[in-house]
Amino acid sequence: MEVWKNIKIKRSFRQIRMEKIFRSSLVLIALSILVMVFAFMLTLIIQSLPSIKALGFGFLYGKTWDPVANIYGTYPFLLGTLLTSFLALLISIPFSFSIAIFLGEYYPRGWFSEFLKNAIELIAAVPSVIYGFWGLFVLVPIVRSIELKMGITPYGIGIFTSSLILAIMIIPYAASLGREMIRMVPAELKEAAYSLGATRWEVIRMVIIPYSKSGLFAGVLLSLGRALGETMAVTMVIGNTSIIPKSIFDPGNTMASVIANEFTEAASTLYLSSLIELGLILFLVTVVINIIGKKVISRFTQ
Amino acid sequence: MSPNIKYRLGKSGAFKGLVIFFSVLCTIPLMLILFYIIREGITKINWNFLTNLPKPVGETGGGILNALVGSLLIVFYAALIAIPFGIMGGIYLSENKKSLLGYWVRLSVDVLQGTPSIVVGIVIYFWIVKPLGTFSALSGSIALAVMMLPIIVRSTEETLKMLPSSLKEAGLALGLPYHKVMLRIVLPCGFSGVLSGIILAVARIAGETAPLLFTAFGNPYFTTDVTKPMQSLPLLIFNYATSPYDEWHDLAWGAAFILLSWILLLNIITKITTRRWKIQF
């Protein structure tokens, strides 16, 4: 009897100790995630210090990027990133909102809606390198022939082609979020509008869109965040020149694509650190956009 | 009907038509991409393609064995690193909904999720590649693990939050220690949800190229040594697609087909597990 008691006490002591270890390891891991993200930012900042010190704000509006002559102005890349992202956003918005309205309001069920929903998820699942590959071999020749007909230099590659590819890639983000938000519009509001004699379009324009406005906006923000940071697909079809693009059909470079192309060949400290500063800017911008988007969503859903 | 109502109904119908038109139009590029990759890729797949190494330029034939094995290894080690951290982080967040640390961890997971993949590559380059002095598969795995982490944490958290708290209370009332309640009762109940999060994370990172550019780097030879540079399918597609040689393009098409079917398969598995999950509750 005594022996049994002892074993039981020992076991429960061990269990209490295990419990403590488990609880503290949970906290430890949570803490380590926090520390890791903090170190992540710190690494970027520290590594880009040489270029921040040497170049200051001239880094942002300098118009020439010539590592051989030690001139680092990133205006062409900032312009390239903004042009491709906003052009892509402009192209994708009609599509993603249409899909959101189609799936959220007109046909929430049915085989075609099921198919469309899966297709949208699939668009998000295809790796960006495959989009780039396809773009390079299928889209570029098409764009080139269009450019020939329009009578401009037929590069094929360039800002416009990248925007097209990006537009396809970012449709799912705004579409699936928009669908969720449109689904959440209370039926009473819609029914009230119908009972006043509103048509479907008027209900959508005057009830659904105003109600889910912030959700749709958040979806657009998440799409934009994705477009800004997208690397591979853009790198493969944008042409990679550091000259400022004069029109949207010219080749160019984005911040992400210049990092992807030049990071491993950057020999001097200043060259490397200016590339990292580009990464830091990219990181800060996308993180801020994503967090604003998430905040809007969580405020909307509560 | 007065002309005014006719006009309004007509406008409504026109808008509906427009929405349907754009929605249908949107599936076309996807179909084109799938069709093209399958048509170009499937003809390149044969036994030699799967079991040989890439041949030098000019020789026909050759395969992508190094990239296949490399991709599997890199993704496997990434999952091995990310899963314990992700699940434990998820348990912590679901258990501490209101704590200060919970708020900051949730924020940092959001930050990580929004980080462009190329930036992850840069940071891991300075953390692992530079101190070790060489590109390595291990650093690639760590970069991918960093990208998997937010997805696993979030899906674990959401799944465990959905479980009824009576489950946990019943375990605790029986005198089970906390760790056993969490690991033996709560986690197994949410297993399929957690699992689908993990598969989704794997599907997301299996095609990632940008974080591997400065970490795993790529390697034309066969290796299973994780401290050496290693080839992977996305890297191979990127390098060979942008090369000027037709033989290499063929290899890239075949690799793209394999990568795409792998990712499709993972997504279908996720679908099936989440569907089962929904039926349970």
- The residue of B2, B19, B151, B152 whose CB has the most chain A CBs within 10 angstroms, and thus the best one to mutate to test that interface, is B19
Mean pLDDT (whole number) for B157-177: 89
What is the nearest CA distance from B59 to chain A, expressed in angstroms? 22
Residue A71 backbone dihedrals phi, psi, to 5 degrees: -110, 125
Query: What residues are paired with A239 via a beta bridge?
Result: A252
Nearest to A201 among B15, B127, B238 (CB): B15
Q: Which residue of chain A is at minimal alpha-carbon distance from B242?
A: A236
Residue B274 has pLDDT above 80, yes or no: no
**Through-space distance between the first and last CA atoms of chain A, rounded to whole angstroms:** 58
Nearest chain B residue (CA) to A124: B204
ipTM summary value: 0.91
Number of inter-chain CB pairs under 8 A, A vs B = 240
Sorted by where each begins, the domain ranges of chain A are 2-55, 60-301
pLDDT at B248: 87
The highest-level CATH class for domain A60-301 is mainly alpha
Six-digit token string for B188: 């197994």
- Under CATH, which architecture does the B50-280 domain have? Orthogonal Bundle (1.10)
Q: Which residues contact A111 (CB under 8 A, 6 or more apart)?
A: none
B30/A119 Cβ within 8 A: yes
Compute the distance between CA of residue B61 and CA of residue B51 in angstroms, rounded to an integer. 11
* B240, B248 Cβ separation under 8 angstroms: yes
How far is Cα B149 from Cα B116, in angstroms, rounded to an integer? Answer: 14
Which residues of chain A make contact with B36, given a CB cutoff of 8 A? 134, 137-138
10-residue mean pLDDT profile of chain A (302 residues): values are: 62 82 93 95 94 87 87 91 95 95 91 91 93 94 92 88 95 92 92 93 93 92 93 92 88 93 88 93 94 88 72
Residues in B touching A47 (Cβ below 8 Å): 122, 126
- Domain spans of chain B, in order of start: 3-31, 50-280
Q: Up-side HSE of residue A148: CA atoms within 13 Å toward CB?
A: 7
Residue B191, CA atoms < 13 Å, CB-side half-sphere: 5
Residues 6+ apart with CB under 8 A from B175: none
Which of A21, A33, A77 is the best substitution to test chain B (most B C-beta atoms within 10 A)?
Answer: A33
The alpha-helical segments, DSSP class H, found in B99-190 are 100-114, 117-124, 130-132, 137-162, 165-173, 178-180, 187-189
Interchain contact, A44 vs B122, CB within 8 Å: yes
Q: Is B133 left (phi over 0), alpha (psi -120 to 50) or beta?
A: left
Q: Cα separation of A166 and A160, whole Å? A: 10
pLDDT band at B281 (very low <50, low <70, confident <90, very high): very low
Percent of chain B scoring above 90 in pLDDT: 60
With a cut of 60, say whether residue B277 has pLDDT above it: no
Q: Which of A109, A82, A94, A253 is nearest to A174 (CA)?
A: A94
Q: Which residues of B touch A256 (CB under 8 A)?
A: 116, 118, 210
pLDDT confidence of residue B280:
41
In this predicted model, what pLDDT tens digit does every residue of B110-126 receive, in sequence order? 999 989 999 999 999 99
Distance, CA of A139 to CA of A264 (rounded, Å): 28
CB-based contacts of A249, cutoff 8 Å, min separation 6:
A147, A152, A153, A155, A158, A159, A160
